[in-house]
């Protein structure tokens, strides 16, 4: 399949189930809502080393938030429920409770609950107050600035982690510029996040390593500097590869996000240095979700 000079390789992204939740963070200004959201979702690119994967889903206008203030929707994913319920209150407590004027609300209903105020209320040292608003329990926790308001808990969903596309470019500059365009388009997909820096990964990995104890290692088949050292997936004209990883609340969300990225790259075309679009998989042995690039674009 060739679209605007760009090869869509006959490959698939292999993804796996993750448990996730959505949190709505509000503040007096959009600036402080985003600061709290980005701080809470920091150091959360991969479960391999961070324990969870998290990111900003979208900004929310004041008229759509629970307290009528500017807000930011975030998503946090972990490999299982127990891992998720451990990281969520820690991140909120250290990054949202501490952030000026912030509040934190549940962005999901259903599934097994994860704690927000249920865990954080003890910071109030007995001065915290529980309220029922529209059938939901919220907490008001006194802080030096005023008070921190949060929901009791948030719902969860079984989502999809590890969707991805690989962008094969003629130079590092062109590969990165193309990846930036694709990431911007993909970030607009509801229910998805791109957890890596700026949505882009330069160090895509494969499962396993020659070194004992290493769960993942550099994907050497896609490293241009190793083209002459062994099996390669890169044609001679490719000098750089960028990856975009997708986590989503559903299989459809990840598929839609993948399509948005490919469409943006195809629109750029070969003239902008995009040689081919590929995907990372492990022969179908890692995860049950297979996002076949050509089928998505058919």
Q: List, as one string, the DSSP characters of 17-30.
A: EEEEEEEEEE-SSH
Q: Which 8-state DSSP code applies to residue 35?
A: H
Q: Are residues 120 and 203 in the same domain?
A: no
- Is residue 148 located within the same domain as residue 212? no
Task: Summarize pLDDT for 91-127 with one digit per residue, the tens.
Answer: 999 999 999 999 999 999 999 999 999 999 999 999 9
Question: What CATH number should be reported for the domain holding residue 227?
Answer: 3.30.70.520
Out of 62-71, 91-100, 192-201, 213-222, least confident range? 213-222
Which residue range forms the structural domain that includes residue 262?
2-14+160-297
145 in the same domain as 215: no
Query: Do 120 and 139 touch, CB atoms closer than 8 A?
Result: yes
Mean pLDDT is lowest, of 152-156, 193-197, 280-284, for 280-284
Same domain, 111 and 169: no
DSSP 291: E
Task: Indicate whether 194 and 62 sit together in one domain.
Answer: no
Taking a C-beta distance cutoff of 8 angstroms, is the pair 177, 272 a contact? yes
Residue 221 CB partners (closer than 8 Å, separation 6+): 206, 230, 231, 232, 233, 234
Confidence of residue 282 (pLDDT cuts 50, 70, 90): confident
User: What does each C-alpha distance from 128 to 10, 90, 91, 140, 150 come to in angstroms?
Assistant: 57, 18, 20, 6, 11
Co-location of 127 and 143 in the same domain = yes
| Domain end call among 134, 157, 180 | 157
Q: What is the pLDDT of residues 1-43, one digit of tens each?
A: 999 999 999 999 999 999 999 999 999 999 999 999 999 999 9
Cα 147 to Cα 99, 121, 283: the distances in Å are 11, 11, 52
> How many structural domains does the chain have?
2
Q: pLDDT tens across 131-160, in order? A: 999 889 999 999 999 999 999 999 999 999
Domain final residue pick, 157, 184, 208: 157
Determine the pLDDT at residue 42: 97
Alpha helices (runs of H) in 151-224, residue ranges in sequence order: 172-186
End position of a domain, from candidates 100, 122, 157:
157
Q: Kindly state whether residues 190 and 142 are assigned to the same domain.
A: no
262: part of which helix (H) or strand (E)?
A: helix 251-268
């Amino acid at each position: 399949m060739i679209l605007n000079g760009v090869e869509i390789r006959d490959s698939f992204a292999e993804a796996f189930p993750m448990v996730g939740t959505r949190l709505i963070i509000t503040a007096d200004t959009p600036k402080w809502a985003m600061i709290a959201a980005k701080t809470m979702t920091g150091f959360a690119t991969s479960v391999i080393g961070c324990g969870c994967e998290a990111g900003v889903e979208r900004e929310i206008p004041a008229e759509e938030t629970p307290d009528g203030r500017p807000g930011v929707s975030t998503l946090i994913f972990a490999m299982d429920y127990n891992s998720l319920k451990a990281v969520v209150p820690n991140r909120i407590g250290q990054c949202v409770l501490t952030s000026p004027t912030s509040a934190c609300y549940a962005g999901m209903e259903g599934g097994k609950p994860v704690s927000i105020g249920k865990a954080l209320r003890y910071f109030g040292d007995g001065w915290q107050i529980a309220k029922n608003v529209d059938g939901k329990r919220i907490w008001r926790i006194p802080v030096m600035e005023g008070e921190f308001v949060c929901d009791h808990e948030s719902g969860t969903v079984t989502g999809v982690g590890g969707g991805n596309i690989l962008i094969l470019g003629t130079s590092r500059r062109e590969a990165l510029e193309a990846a930036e365009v694709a990431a911007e388009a993909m970030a607009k997909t509801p229910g998805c996040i791109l957890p890596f820096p700026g949505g882009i990964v330069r160090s895509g990995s494969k499962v396993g390593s020659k070194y004992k104890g290493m769960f993942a290692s550099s994907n050497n088949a896609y490293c241009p500097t190793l083209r002459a050292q062994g099996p390669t997936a890169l044609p001679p004209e490719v000098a750089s590869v960028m990856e975009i990883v997708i986590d989503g609340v559903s299989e459809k969300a990840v598929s839609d996000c993948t399509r948005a990225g490919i469409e943006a790259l195809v629109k750029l075309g070969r003239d902008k240095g995009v040689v081919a679009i590929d995907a990372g998989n492990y022969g179908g042995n890692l995860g049950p979700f297979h996002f076949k690039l050509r089928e998505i674009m058919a």
